[in-house]
Amino acid sequence: MQSTSLEEQAFGTPKRFHTKVEVRWSDMDAFQHINHARMVTLLEEARIPWLFLDDRPTVGLKSGCVLADLRVQYKGQLRHEDSPLDISMWVERLRAVDFTVAYEVRAAAAAPDSPPAVIASTQLAAFDIDTQRLRRLTTEERDYLSLWLND
């Protein structure tokens, strides 16, 4: 995973966070393409530099965030040689306690405007570990997430 500034990773309309995620040999299945369960893990790895690093207003979510929904659509195959994957993410929906992240995944050599090989979404909810209940997103979290909202 590469680490660069938000300004270097955010571009386009709507604003999208881009990151590169390396494909491991163990991510491949018997048919030599990325296994479904491993794709879900790669999406999770892509979220980390966007939402969970210490300098992000959403860093509190790394100690209390649950996955409420996951959808993955495969439009094409991705293989080990397509690494590092280019994953773009943005906020599709923002509510009081949860938000939905949309993803487009392309091979390393694919043009940014080419059709993605994978389209996905995850609904994430803020969660208080101590009380075992959902919590409202803080003003800082909402403000940061709203910057990435696809209006």
Answer yes or no: is pLDDT of 119 > 90: yes
Which of 16, 22, 24, 28 lies closest to 77 in space, CA to CA?
A: 28
> How many helices (H) does the chain have, and how many strands (E)?
3, 7
What's the chain's Rg over C-alpha atoms? 15
pLDDT digits (tens, 9 = 90+) for 58-112: 999 999 999 999 999 999 999 999 999 999 999 999 999 999 999 999 999 999 9
Phi and psi based region of residue 132 (left: phi greater than 0; alpha: psi -120 to 50; beta: remaining): left
pLDDT digits (tens, 9 = 90+) for 10-33: 545 568 999 999 999 998 888 888
